[in-house]
Amino acid sequence: MLSEPLYKLWHTLYSLNKADERRKCLQNNFGISDEQTIDELCKLNFKKDGYCKLSSKAIRRILPYLQEGYDYAQSCLLAGFRHSDYVTTEENEGRPLQTHLPILKKNELHQPVVEKVLNQMIGIVNRLIEKYGEIDETRIELARELQRSKKEREDMDKQNRENLKRNEEIAEKLKKENGINKPTHRMLMKYRQFEETGGKCMYCGGDIDLKTFMYGIDTEWEHIIPKALLFDNSFSNSICACQKCNKTKNDRTAYDYMRSLGTQRFNDYKERVKKMYDEKSISRTKYKNLLASFEDYQERKRNGCATEEDKELWENYIDRQIRQTQYISRAALKKLKNVCRNVYASSGTVTSFLRHGWGYDNILHDLNLPVYDAAGIGLTEDVVVKQDGKDIQVHRIKGWNKRMDNRHHAIDALVVACTKQSIVQRLNEFNSSRTEFEEEVKSGKKKRFKNKKSMLEKWVEINTPFSKKEVAEKVSGIMVSYRTSNKVASSSTNRYLSNGKTIVEKGIISPRLPLHESHLYGKINGKNVYRYSLSELFLRKKDVNIEDVLKSIVDKGIVAILENRINAGIINNDSSKKPYDVDPAKAKENLATLVSKPPMHSNGTPIRRVKCYVSKPTIPVRTDSHGTVTAYAVSGNNHHIEFYRNDKGEFKESVISYWQAFLRIKNHLPLFVNIDNASILRKASEEGFDIGEIHDSSWNPFLCLGKTELVVIGLKKRTIENLIKRGDYSKIASHVYKVCGVSQGDYTFCIHNEIKYVPKERNKPDGRFIRIQNIKSLANLELVKVKINPIGEITIL
């Protein structure tokens, strides 16, 4: 085979990358003179997507069996190649199965996130086996797409060739003009950044020397959106900037940083970005990154009005996470084969197509529409849409997305479970030839394309496993299971060296969450104080109340210096106002220079950090050798809240922080108070343990609420018990709420299937979000705490 002309031709085309070398070799060594044939051969690229990665040796062994009529898998097997996961039907039927899946041990895969996800899957699978017995078939959705269309592959290949050519040109230029003989890939990217901004800093506009930029002297590889906010190290998230601006910018987006420098500089920046995009010197992705504001996004998120663009940028998976999801899928496949003989995989694109073809796309929208209508605050709308060439009026939820309802996972799971391998194959063939069909439409050959597409859709529709009505009925009874977040400690092993020996301490109780804020506070005149940087006080927040900040500063001499700096250049003709209130734009411009040109003490030292009074309750966390407290910290978030009532029908509450919850566990005390253990906690509290307020024996505990716990609101306990016995979950589901937040006199809940609590939509007639600000009102609701396990079964606690 090695001496055959076609093999020699392939080897020539595969080995020679440059068109002129190929052309010369084809003419001289193969005697090809036809220009068109040579042009076509020169265009071939066996390394791009779409070609199988096999060595010539493997091809020589497999090819004879393919020529005899065997399929590719059989030919590989006959040639002596066997995939590590490949088993014959006989081998599959004969292999032993496990009765359950063992939980992964800590660090077994050296991937904490993967281990956590797989252990959740293992828990669900084991419960299903325990309830229903051996699993006949398992289907899993992989985080990958169908093969790209021909045009997509060509476009990607073209872009790669252009980038390669451009990089070669830059490398040659750096070698000739700057004496950089072997520029690294990072240098090539830096040169492209340098070209984008015309050799100037993107932020201050100062000139940047190319050679110093190449070697990182006084210049930076600047992340437009910092890694602290979004781990994106791509070229579209980098720009040319000087070191000074990079440091001042800190962990802010380019947009937020420039906005903090005053109106004029901010407007100049926006015009500069627009000009660069209009001149096509930057990509659309980089353009969007340069105008992205994390501060604005946080504000919209707090108000419950985050846009789709926000979600796309700040909330969606990036490539690294997608690769991790692919790994999880592959690991899940391998694990599931231990308890099931038939395990199949399909892609997310297949699931999406079938969900639409089977009519399941709008099930959640239709179930939620009456609920959103009931809110009466303009959450729905009537719009005119085109359907089959006609204008029809549609009543719908504004900005609806299936991910607004957690139950979309259940519908996707149903579609995945009903996906057949024959469907996957048909869709793969259709997707890979989509470009050809589109080209036929453009050229007027519509009949073939239409028939092909309509036949596929009709075939999918005919094979719908369940009607839309059946699925909607079952989905309405689904209750979402949440993992409660009330675990505050776990047992761990501590190893350390002492006098050359390894000491091992087992059974150490370690907190699972931060017990207090990372800042350590001191005290002055009985008040908590902390040293803040001027940047933290004045520059990191969008709207700074200058007067409040200045009042919080301990040293009044520093306050006077800062006031003079902030008020510089402001003419104040209104004695009733502070100068910075008269001209806030000028004051903001003055604030922007506090870090780059810090104000000075009278002795000439710069003021960079100042002590401020802090009105937060603190706990002692450090003492000296005499036992005197030297440092304090603000206790962490609230862990749960405990409710009491007396014989007179009066109510009290006690908010327990993570710190106090941890101390209960550490001292082997009950985590939650109830009638049986109240005396134990009361005694510990009297002995001086900081475990939260435990009321005297005239008050009886009747309820504890923690974040993500589930309660039923609006149904009596007896009614819930009867509905569970009948298996009528749909009537319970509309009354199940998740606890979203608990604090002193303030309790928030949202219906279990909602993704998040939306403050502005609380306490509306639709009942999706509830906020209660009175203990008596909460008690009158007669909450019933429930637990929903991972396979959707409900039990009363």
Residue range 109-142, pLDDT digits in tens: 777 778 888 999 999 999 999 999 999 999 988 7
Give first-to-last CA distance, the chain, whole Å. Answer: 75
- The residue-averaged pLDDT of 77-94 equals 78
* Together in a domain, 547 and 644: no
Residue range 406-428, pLDDT digits in tens: 999 999 999 999 988 777 766 65
Identify whether 47 is part of a domain: yes
Give yes or no for residue 710 having a pLDDT over 90: yes
pTM for the predicted model, two decimal places: 0.61
Q: How confident is the model at residue 152 (pLDDT cuts 50, 70, 90)?
A: low
307 against 751, higher pLDDT: 751
Identify whether 95 is part of a domain: no
Q: How confident is the model at residue 591 (pLDDT cuts 50, 70, 90)?
A: confident
* Together in a domain, 277 and 224: yes
* Together in a domain, 780 and 645: yes
Which pLDDT belongs to residue 643? 92
Which pLDDT belongs to residue 721? 93
Identify whether 329 is part of a domain: no
Tally of domains in the chain? 4
Domain boundary among 618, 653, 687: 618
Residue range 766-775, pLDDT digits in tens: 888 999 988 8
**Residues spanned by the domain of 607:** 522-618
Domain boundary among 78, 109, 129: 78
Give yes or no for residue 363 having a pLDDT over 80: yes
CA-nearest of 322, 318, 311 to 142 is: 322
Domain boundary among 559, 586, 618: 618
733 against 456, higher pLDDT: 733
Q: How many CB atoms lie under 10 A from the CB of residue 727? A: 8
Which pLDDT belongs to residue 51? 61
* Together in a domain, 273 and 211: yes
Which pLDDT belongs to residue 93? 86
Identify whether 72 is part of a domain: yes
For residue 342, the cross-strand partners are: 137
* Together in a domain, 246 and 199: yes
Identify whether 475 is part of a domain: no
* Together in a domain, 727 and 656: yes
* Mean pLDDT taken over the chain: 81
According to DSSP, residue 197 is labeled T
* Together in a domain, 608 and 694: no
The size of the chain, in residues, is 797
Residue range 470-515, pLDDT digits in tens: 999 999 999 999 887 677 777 777 766 677 677 778 877 777 666 6
Pair of tokens at residue 111: 């991937």
* Together in a domain, 644 and 691: yes
For residue 238, the cross-strand partners are: 223
Contact criterion met (CB below 8 Å) for 158 and 53: no
CA atoms within 13 A on the CB side of 416: 20
Which pLDDT belongs to residue 437? 41
Contact criterion met (CB below 8 Å) for 695 and 635: no
CA-nearest of 216, 222, 238, 229 to 282 is: 238
Q: Tokens 């899928």 map to which residue?
A: 329
CA-nearest of 238, 408, 375 to 755 is: 408
Which pLDDT belongs to residue 85? 64
Q: How many CB atoms lie under 10 A from the CB of residue 695? A: 19
Alpha carbon of 623 to those of 520, 559, 626, 627, 658: distances in Å? Answer: 12, 31, 8, 5, 21
Q: What percent of the chain has pLDDT over 90?
A: 17
Give yes or no for residue 318 having a pLDDT over 50: no
Contact criterion met (CB below 8 Å) for 673 and 645: no
Identify whether 600 is part of a domain: yes
3-class DSSP state of 140: strand
Pair of tokens at residue 614: 């802090």
Pair of tokens at residue 364: 């959640």
482 against 298, higher pLDDT: 482
Q: How confident is the model at residue 322 (pLDDT cuts 50, 70, 90)?
A: low
d(CA 265, CA 273): 12
CA-nearest of 488, 516, 746, 486 to 617 is: 516
* Together in a domain, 598 and 649: no
Identify whether 758 is part of a domain: yes
Residue range 611-636, pLDDT digits in tens: 888 766 665 656 666 666 555 555 66
Which pLDDT belongs to residue 388? 66
* Together in a domain, 593 and 651: no
Give yes or no for residue 449 having a pLDDT over 50: no
Identify whether 439 is part of a domain: no
Contact criterion met (CB below 8 Å) for 732 and 479: yes
* Together in a domain, 649 and 791: yes
d(CA 174, CA 43): 30
State residue 291 phi and psi, 5-degree precision: -110, 15
* Together in a domain, 650 and 781: yes
